[in-house]
Amino acid sequence: MFHKEGYKIIIVTFIIVAAVVITADKIDTAWIKYLLQGIAVVFLILILQFFRNPSRNTPKNDAHVIAPVDGKVVVIEEVFEKEYFKDKRLQVSIFMSPINVHVTRYAISGTVKYSKYHPGKYLVAWHPKASEENERTSVVVENETYGAILYRQVAGALAKRIVNYAEENAAAIQGEDAGFIKFGSRVDLYLPLDTNIKVKLNQTVKGGIDVIAMK
């Protein structure tokens, strides 16, 4: 299964690859022909791999925060969140490489209280200032059991478009599709200070499955 955000790119890529393969077939030098065809096919495979959207069976639990994306936990620290909460929060950041699934999923069920897009730079996703200076979206979801959390989709050096489906006052369902980030990025979670963090630095997590934190 492929994500709907990739349909257009997949179709265009398939047409280009088909044209390259057909054109290269007319080249007399065998190794050049096969090299060009091989590169074209590998490129198509990479595009298909990037836009895959595997089905995830998310166990719903209002007291749990599940991973919103696939990737590696690169930050766990106390910070001052100045956009929405304007107080101290626990930040957990997950870095996605180009080979990770890039679907963003709701970390908790509840109501979307805030959703805002910020234009910005394209620093590498692990840069300390990426969360404040890069293109990003900030979304706050709240439920009665856990409270409010903020997740931030942050563009990276390769990411050229962030897609955010969260709309204010809409219902969020834990594990459901909340957006997509194209080509390398990270997602930051801002959680209450009394949160019980269940992951460690450099741990690899799967979106919609692994528990990041719990009350």
Q: Which residues are catalytic?
A: 185
**Residue 8: CB partners within 8 Å, gap ≥ 6?**
none
Structural element, H or E, at residue 35: helix 30-50
DSSP class per residue in 74-119: EEEEEEEETTTT-EEEEEEEEEE-TTS--EEE-SS-EEEEEEEEE-
Alpha carbon 16 to chain centroid, angstroms = 27
Phi and psi at 79, nearest 5°, equal: -140, 170
Per the rule left: phi > 0, alpha: psi between -120 and 50, beta: everything else, 73 is beta
Q: CB–CB of 125/186 below 8 Å? A: yes
The amino acid at 116: K
Sign of the Cα torsion 107, 178, 157, 98 reads: positive
Look up residue 209 and give its two tokens: 């499955």
DSSP state of 107: S
Q: CB–CB of 183/206 below 8 Å? A: no
